[in-house]
């Protein structure tokens, strides 16, 4: 177990993630820098900027901190991010690609419930959130049990995305979205 108060060697590793299995797929060898921003006030709960030498296209990327301490190597996940919007520059020698990346919750902001979508009263809130999140995300969804039921029909607003609809539904059970470092 790492002793965070003592010296250690630190490096980072980056892997593409298979969206079907949610497991690490390929080690990315061309990352030049990475910045992770955790923001609980953002719908996606955070973002990252990952700079690489060559574009890898749209992909999920998992970032790990690798430490070596007293001859023992340990690997700690720091987050899983969906890379979407690359911006490319060329300095005459090297192509540099800066990729904006967001947590898997971004997928909930891309689509809307159908007009008039509703959940009838008496339905279990957490079961409905689990089901709807599974249908609208590629990332694994962790099931949470809670007996909270709707006291009234819960209807989507005309401007709701799946994120705003599910976030408001979760609030009825006094819950909110959360992510672990593996992107679940």
Tens digits of per-residue pLDDT, 11-40? Answer: 999 999 999 999 999 999 999 999 999 998
C-alpha 51/C-alpha 28 separation (Å) is 11
**Joined tokens for residue 121:** 């009263």
Q: Is the pLDDT of residue 128 over 90?
A: yes
C-alpha 166/C-alpha 163 separation (Å) is 5
- Bridge-partner residues for 36, per DSSP? 48
**Residue 91: count of CB within 10 angstroms of its CB:** 7
For residues 82 and 60, the answer to whether their CB atoms sit within 8 Å is yes
Cα distances (angstroms) measured from residue 36 to each of 54, 121, 146: 20, 40, 32
3-class state of residue 133 by DSSP: helix
pLDDT at 3: 86
pLDDT at 107: 94
What percent of the chain is predicted at pLDDT more than 70?
Answer: 94
C-alpha 167/C-alpha 170 separation (Å) is 5
Q: Is the pTM of this model over 0.75?
A: yes
C-alpha 56/C-alpha 150 separation (Å) is 44
C-alpha 101/C-alpha 47 separation (Å) is 6
Residue written as tokens 């694994």?
A: 140
3-class state of residue 165 by DSSP: helix
Higher pLDDT, 57 or 178: 178
Mean pLDDT of the chain: 91
Residue written as tokens 């539904």?
A: 169
Q: Are strands 118-119 and 95-102 parallel, antiparallel or unpaired?
A: unpaired
């Amino acid at each position: 177990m790492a002793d965070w108060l003592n010296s250690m060697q630190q490096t980072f590793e980056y892997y593409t993630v298979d969206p079907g299995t949610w497991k690490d797929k390929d080690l990315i060898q061309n990352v030049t820098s990475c910045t992770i921003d955790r923001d609980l006030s953002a719908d996606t709960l955070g973002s990252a900027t990952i700079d690489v030498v060559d574009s890898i296209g749209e992909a999920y990327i998992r970032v790990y901190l690798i430490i070596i301490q007293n001859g023992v190597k340990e690997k700690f996940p720091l987050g899983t991010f969906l890379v979407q919007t690359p911006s490319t520059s060329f300095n005459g020698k090297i192509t540099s690609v800066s990729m904006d990346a967001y947590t898997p919750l971004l997928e909930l902001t891309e689509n809307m419930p159908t007009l008039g979508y509703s959940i009838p009263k008496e339905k279990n809130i957490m079961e409905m959130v689990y089901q709807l999140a599974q249908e609208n995300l590629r990332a694994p969804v962790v099931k949470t049990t809670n007996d909270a039921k709707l006291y009234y029909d819960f209807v989507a607003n005309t401007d709701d995305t799946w994120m705003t609809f599910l976030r408001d539904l979760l609030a009825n059970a006094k819950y909110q979205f959360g992510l672990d470092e593996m992107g679940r």
